[in-house]
Amino acid sequence: MTATETPATSRAHFEFHCRPEDFVHWQLSIEGAIATLRMNVQEDHGMHDHYRLKLNSYDLGVDIELAAAYQHLRFERPEVRCVVLTGNLDRVFCAGANIVMLRTSTHAFKVNFCKFTNETRLFIEDASEFSGLKTLAALNGTASGGGYELALASDHILLVDDRNSAVSLPEVPLLGVLPGTGGLTRVVDKRMVRRDLADVFCSVAEGIKGKRAVRWNLVDGVAPLSKFDELVEAASQELVSQSEVSEGLEGIRLEPAGATFDESSIHYDMVDVSFDSDARTASITMNLPSDAGPSTPAEAHQAGCNWWIFKLFRQLDDALLHLRLEYLDVGTITLRVVGDPSVIRDTDALLDRAKDDWFVREVRLFVKRVLKRLDLTARTIFAVADEGTCFVGTFLEIALSADRVYLLNDPDHPVVMGTSVMNAGAYPMSNGLTRLQTRFLGEPTRADDLLAETELLDAEQADDMGLATVAPDIIDWEDDLRMALEERASFSPDALTGMEANLRFAGPETMETKIFGRLSAWQNWIFQRPNAVGERGALQCYGTPNRPELDWIRT
C-alpha cells in the first residue's frame, strides 16, 4: 500500500479502498462463520522507503488494509460472525506503530495517522455492537503499543503463555508520548483496570505477561503454546454463538470510490471538491440523483455499492480522508447538498422500514461512521444552504455537523430544510446523542418539535426553528459568507482546532469523546514538545545510542 503521485497535482494520493486479494500486509482466510485475519507485515513495503516495518510494526498503509478488511467482511461476507486477529511472526503479534515512521513524519501526519487508527479501532467495536461481527485477538506473541491497542478493540483477548510474550503500552517510558490510539482510555474505561495497576502497567516498558496479565484484566485468558490453537478455536466458536448466524446471505461487491484529481479539484460521480488555494478553503458539493431508485431491500441489494446513498457517502468519506492527509493548507470546508428533497425522504423511508435487512442496516451504520468522520475532521465546517440545496433528513445531519449554518432567507430564491425519521437516533454522535439533541442541549423540546414537523421548512421557518446560524437575504448573502470565510482564515489554526473540538461535543462524556479529546489536546501538544520530538527528545533518540535529554519542569 503506497501513496502515488500524479503529474497533474504533484501531490501524493492515498488509496483508501483496497481489496483483500491486493493486501500486502494482511492475510484473510474464511471458513464458515469465522474469518482469520493474519498480520504479516512486509518489512520493505512501507509507504515510504526510509523505514522498515520490522516486527509487524505498522504504518498508515497497514491500517488502511485493516479498515478495508472489516469493510469487506461487513458488506461482502455477511455470513462471517467472528474475526480472529493474529500474527504471522514467531513470538510477535505486533510491535505497534513504526517508530522511525513517526519520528520522521510531520506533526500533522502523526496526529492524522493516530486519528485514522482510532477510527479503525472504533470501526471494529462498532462491528461487534451493531453488526454482531465479533473479534478475537489471538495474541501469538508480544503485543506492544499500538499492537496492544488493536487487541483492546477486540471482544476477547487470548495471550500465548510462552514465558516471553507480554502486552505493553511502553510509550511513556520509551518514547515520551502517549498510547495514541485509545490505549489509556480503553484500559481504564473498557477493561476497567484499576488505576494504580494501570499506572504500573503503563510505566513498565517490558509489559505484563502470563497469569498476572489475566489478574489485572489486561487480557481475558492465557494459553500454553501447545494448546493455543485449540483454545483459539474454542474462544472463536464461543464468540460466534453470541451472534446470530444467518444462512444464505449474499454480499455485495465493493468497487473503488473512483476519485480523479486535478490541480484545483477532486471529482467523483456524486461528490465534487473544489479548492481555493488563496483563501485556503475547500468546497464540497454533494449531488443527489434525479430519483430515489430502490424502494425495497431487494432492489437495494441489486444496486449494491451503486445504491446512490451508499455510493455518495463512500465518496464523501474518501474525500474527507484525502483532505485530512493531503490538503493540509485547507482550513475551512463549505458543504452543499444539491437536489430534490423527495429523493432523500423516499430513501430515508426505506432506510427506516427495512432496518432489519442486513444490507440496509450496514448502509445505515456506514453513513453513521462517515458522519462521525466529518464531526472529527479538524477543519472549520460551514454548511451553505442556498437556492437548490436540500439539507433534509439524512442530509440535515450534514448541516447539523457543521460549526455554522449559513441559510439564504429570500423568497425569490427558495431554500428548504427538514427532518425525517432518520434524525431521531439512527446516526448518533460520539457523545451518544443525536445531532439535534446536541444542537439544542439547552432546549430539548426544540429537537422534539423539529422531529414532529412532517412538512419541509422554508428558510424563514428553518431560521425560526433554530436551524440557521446566520440567515441573510440575497443582498447581504455573498458579503456575509465571504467575510465569515476571510475572518476564519485570519485566526490561528491551532486555536480553531482546539475551539472546534471542544464545542462540537456538548453533553455527556463517553469513551469515544475521551479518546478523541485526548488525541486533539494531549497528543497534539506532546507531539510538538522538545521532550518527545526535540533533537534529543525521547522519540528522536529511541533506537539510537543517544539517551534523551529532558526538560524536567512539569507543565
Q: What is the pLDDT along the chain (555 residues), one digit of tens a residue?
A: 445 443 334 457 889 989 999 999 999 999 999 999 999 999 999 999 999 999 999 999 999 999 999 999 999 999 999 999 999 999 999 999 999 999 999 988 988 999 999 999 999 999 999 999 999 999 999 999 999 999 999 999 999 999 999 999 999 999 888 887 789 999 999 999 999 999 999 999 999 999 999 999 999 999 999 999 999 999 999 999 998 877 788 999 999 999 999 999 999 999 999 999 999 999 999 999 999 999 999 999 999 999 999 999 999 999 999 999 999 999 999 999 999 999 999 999 999 999 999 999 999 999 999 999 999 999 999 999 999 999 999 999 999 999 999 999 999 999 999 999 999 999 999 999 999 999 999 999 999 999 999 999 999 999 999 999 999 999 999 999 999 999 999 999 989 988 998 899 999 999 999 888 877 777 778 888 899 889 998 889 888 899 999 889 887
CA distance 184 to 181: 9
CA distance 321 to 397: 19
Helix (H) or strand (E) holding 406: strand 404-407
CA distance 411 to 458: 9
- pTM tops 0.75, yes or no: yes
The three-state secondary structure class of 555 is: coil
The pLDDT of residue 519 is 77
Q: What single-letter amino acid sits at 45?
A: H
- What is Dmax (Cα atoms) for the chain? 78
Angle between helices 107-131 and 358-375 (to 10 degrees): 150
User: Per-domain residue ranges for the chain?
Assistant: 18-241, 260-499
Q: What is the DSSP letter of 174?
A: I
As given in the structure block, the three cell numbers for residue 347 are 430513501
Our CA angle for 471, 425, 310, nearest 5°, is: 85
Handedness of CA 329, 333, 334, 335 (dihedral sign): positive
SS (H, E, C) 323-348: HHHHCCCCCEEEEEEECCHHHHHHHH
SS (H, E, C) 458-507: EHHHHHHCCCCCECCCHHHHHHHHHHHHHHHHHCCHHHHHHHHHHHCCCC
Give backbone dihedrals phi and psi of 42, rounded to 5 degrees, phi first. -85, 115
The three-state secondary structure class of 380 is: strand
Q: Which long-range contacts (CB under 8 A, 24 or more apart) does 106-112 make?
A: 107/527, 107/528, 107/533, 108/328, 109/325, 110/527, 111/378, 111/519, 111/523, 111/524, 111/527, 112/324, 112/325
As given in the structure block, the three cell numbers for residue 446 are 426544540
The yes or no reply on domain 260-499 and CATH 3.90.226.10 is: yes
In DSSP terms, 391 is beta-bridged to: 417
- The CATH architecture annotation of domain 18-241 reads Alpha-Beta Complex (3.90)
Look at the chain and count its residues. Answer: 555
Q: What single-letter amino acid sits at 451?
A: L
The pLDDT of residue 255 is 94
Q: In terms of DSSP H, where are the helices of 132-247?
A: 146-152, 183-185, 195-201, 210-215, 228-241
The pLDDT of residue 5 is 42
Q: What is the DSSP letter of 293?
A: -
CA 221 to chain centre: 29
Strands (E), 102-162: 134-139, 141-144, 156-161
Say if residues 419 and 451 touch (Cβ distance below 8 Å).
Answer: yes
Say if residues 123 and 70 touch (Cβ distance below 8 Å).
Answer: yes
In DSSP terms, 287 is beta-bridged to: 338
The three-state secondary structure class of 261 is: strand
Q: 18-241 with 260-499: one CATH topology? A: yes
As given in the structure block, the three cell numbers for residue 65 are 488494509
Say if residues 381 and 355 touch (Cβ distance below 8 Å).
Answer: no
The pLDDT of residue 11 is 59
